[in-house]
Structure 1
Amino acid sequence: MKTSTSSSSSETKAPLLTLAATSLVAIFGCAALYQATMGFQVVSTEDGRRLEIEREPRSVPFAALDWPSRPLLGDVLSNDGRVTIVSFIYTSCTAICSVLGNEFQQMQETIRARGLQDKVRLMSISFDPRDDAQQLRAYAIRQHADRTIWNFAGIPDGSQRKAVLDTFGVVVVPAPLSEYVHNAAFHVVGPSGRLEKIDDYDSPDRALADAVAMYDADRK
C-alpha cells in the first residue's frame, strides 16, 4: 500500500510541475515579447525602430560629404532651415533605388507645384563607395533633379558612412555582381538636423505631408 501511495503522489506532482514550468516559460516568453515589441505597440524590428525614432529623434552624424569643400552632413541638414526627406541609394541599382528615384521625381514636381521648396527638400545619399561626385552628378542628371530641391551626395569615409547608416537604421548587404541588398524608406529630418520620422518608401504622400507638418510645427 505504501508503494502505491508513493507512486500515486509522484504521478500527481509530475503534471503539476510540468504545468508550472510551462507557465513560467509562457510568462518569460510574454515578457520578452513585450520588451521586443516595446509594450506590444509594434510587431517587428522595423516598426520598433520607427517608433523609437519618433519618441527620441536622433542627431545625424557629422560625416564629410563629397561635395565641394567637403561639408559635414549634420551641418548640411541643420543649417538649411528646411525639412529634408532622405533616401539611401546606389547609382547602379536597378531595383528598389529605381522606385525611390521615381517617387522622388514625382515628389519634386509636387514640391514645385505647391510652392513648398522653401519648406521641404530631398536628398539621396549613396552608400556605395564607388559612387564618386562625378557619378552622382551624372545620376542626378538622369533623374532630372532640380538642385534647388533635390541633392545627391556620397560619404567617402567608410567609418563615417557606417555611422550614418546605423543612425538611420539602413542595412546594406553586398550581393553578387557588385550589387547590394538593402532596406529602403523615406527618412524625414527636421530643420534642427535630427531624424524624426521614417515612412514607407511606397508612401511618398505621407512622407511629404509629415515633412510639411514638421516644418510648420517648427515655426510655431
Structure 2
Amino acid sequence: METTISPNSPNQPIKGDLRQRDFRQGDLTRTLALVACMAVVAGAALWQATMGFRVVATEDGRRLAVAEAPLALPRVALALPGATTVPLPVLLAGDPRPAIVTFFYARCNAVCSVQGTELQQMQREILARGLQDKLRLLTISFDPRDALDDLARYAARMRAEPAIWQFAAVPDAAQRQALLDQVGIIVLPAEMGEFQHNAAFHIVTPDGRLAQVVDYEQPEAALAAALELAQ
C-alpha cells in the first residue's frame, strides 16, 4: 500500500525550512573559514614573536637571544668603594674570571634581600669548593642615592670578600640607564622612595659581553654557567 504524506505532516520538509537550513550551513562554513584564517595569521605572528615557538614570554626570548649572541656591555664608568672610578670593560678585562653580575639598591627589603642571601650562599660555595680563582661576583646599584659608604656598609653586612664579591655604582644617570637597558633590568619608582624592579644573574665574560641571563631563583644554574665559561 502506498503511503501518502499530508502537506501538513511533520515528516515532510518545508521549502522555507530547507532554505533556512542551507543559510545556516553556509553561514557556519564562512565562520569556520574565517576562524581558520585568523588562526593561521595568529600562528604565524606567534611563531615570529616567540622565535619559532621556542619561547613565549618576552623575557625568555631576550634571554635566548643573549645566549645565542652575547651582547657587549656599554662602556659605563663605575664607582667602587675604596677605589677610583673605572670603566666597566676595564674592570672586567683586568680579571680573567667570568663575573656573575647583579643589580640592586641598598635600601631594598624585597627581591634584593632574597638575591643578597643567594649571593652570600654563592660566595660560601665558591670558597668551599676553592673556586675563587675561577669566577667572581659584581653587584651594581641602580639607586642614585646609594653613596659609596652605603655600598661599603652593605658589603660588610653581607660579609663580602673583596677578592670575590665587589659592589659598585654608576654615578652618571644616562650611563646607568644605558646599562640597565642593555641587561634588561626594569626599574620603576614606587612609594616611600622604593623601587619595583626585576632581578637576575647576569653571566659576563672578561671581555665585557653578557653571555647568559639566569633567573634569580636559580643560583646553582648561574654558578654552573659561570664555571662553564671559566673552563
Taking structure 1 as the reference length, the TM-score comes to 0.90
Q: Distance in 2 between matches of 1:69 and 1:141?
A: 19
Q: Distance in 1 between matches of 2:21 and 2:220?
A: 69
Match of 1:25 among 26, 35, 38: 38
Once the two structures are superposed, what CA deviation does each residue of 1:127-160 show, in whole Å capped at 9, x if it has no partner?
1010121111111111111110000001111111
Match of 2:129 in 1: 114
Shift of 1:18: 2.4
User: Is 1:100 paired with 2:115?
Assistant: yes
Match of 2:200 in 1: 185
Shift of 1:20: 2.5
Please show how residues 136-147 of structure 1 align to structure 2 within 5 Å. 136-147=151-162
Write the letter of the residue equivalent to 2:114.
V
Match of 2:65 among 52, 68, 81: 52
Q: Distance in 2 between matches of 1:150 and 1:71?
A: 16
Q: Which moved more, 1:11-20 or 1:53-62?
A: 11-20
Match of 2:3 in 1: none
Is the CA contact (8 Å cut-off) linking 1:66 and 1:132 kept in structure 2? no
Shift of 1:9: 7.6
SS of the aligned residue for 1:177 comes to helix
Shift of 1:186: 0.8
Shift of 1:5: 10
Match of 2:223 in 1: 208
Match of 1:66 in 2: 79
Once the two structures are superposed, what CA deviation does each residue of 1:100-146 show, in whole Å capped at 9, x if it has no partner?
11111111111112111111000111110101211111111111111
Please show how residues 164-179 of structure 1 align to structure 2 within 5 Å. 164-179=179-194
Structure 1 unmatched ranges of 5 or more:
none
SS of the aligned residue for 2:140 comes to strand
Is the CA contact (8 Å cut-off) linking 2:89 and 2:207 kept in structure 1? no
Write the letter of the residue equivalent to 2:126.
I
User: Is 1:77 paired with 2:76?
Assistant: no
Q: Distance in 2 between matches of 1:215 and 1:197?
A: 13
Write the letter of the residue equivalent to 1:33.
L
Write the letter of the residue equivalent to 2:139.
S
Match of 1:150 in 2: 165
SS of the aligned residue for 2:222 comes to helix
SS of the aligned residue for 1:164 comes to helix
Is the CA contact (8 Å cut-off) linking 1:190 and 1:214 kept in structure 2? yes
Give the aligned CA root-mean-square deviation in angstroms: 1.9
How many residues were matched structurally? Answer: 214
Structure 2 unmatched ranges of 5 or more:
1-16
Stretches (4+) displaced over 6 A: 4-10
Identity of aligned residues (%): 47
Q: Distance in 1 between matches of 2:215 and 2:22?
A: 59
Shift of 1:8: 8.2
SS of the aligned residue for 1:23 comes to helix
